[in-house]
Amino acid sequence: MMLNYDARPQDLSFTELRRIIGYFSIDDNPKLTAYQVRYFGVMAETMGPLIIIALAIPFAVSGVRVNPVVGVSKSLGLFAVYFILLKLCGTLGARDVIPALWAALLPSLAMLGTGVGFLARVR
């Protein structure tokens, strides 16, 4: 248990993260927040296929008059926004500025909302 507690949260499995959170949640340890952000982040990553589908369909059915490079550049831009949002929320969650659950869910929910917005515009 103590060897896992010294490891980086990114290097631990889902089960190890859950065990650390369960064991050390009794104490108000500030180091535990980074493990909670990673734990909730692993659970939030299950929305990844939904995000990909919600973002891919509008680009796939866009008009034939649009240059294909436009879709690629939009995809790269959305990936950059997602990556920046993921790192920003992870940092804010690890420093306990925002709750760990919201730090993990916010990037996925933002991209899912963007994808649903694109889907609504396509119709």
User: What's the number of domains the chain is made of?
Assistant: 1
Residue 4 lies in a domain: no
pLDDT tops 70 at residue 64: no
Q: Is residue 2 part of a domain?
A: no
Could you tell me the residue range of the domain that residue 116 belongs to?
37-122
Confidence of residue 107 (pLDDT cuts 50, 70, 90): very high
Q: Which residue has the higher pLDDT, 65 or 113?
A: 113
Q: DSSP readout, the chain? A: -HHHHHS-GGGS-HHHHHHHHHHHTTTT-TTHHHHHHHHHHHHHGGGHHHHHHHHHHHHHTS-TTS-HHHHHHHHHHHHHHHHHHHHHHHHHHHTTSS-HHHHHHHHHHHHHHHHHHHHHHH-
Mean pLDDT throughout 37-60?
86
Q: Model's pTM, two decimal places? A: 0.77
Give the per-residue pLDDT at 119: 84
Residue 110: pLDDT band by 50, 70, 90 thresholds? very high
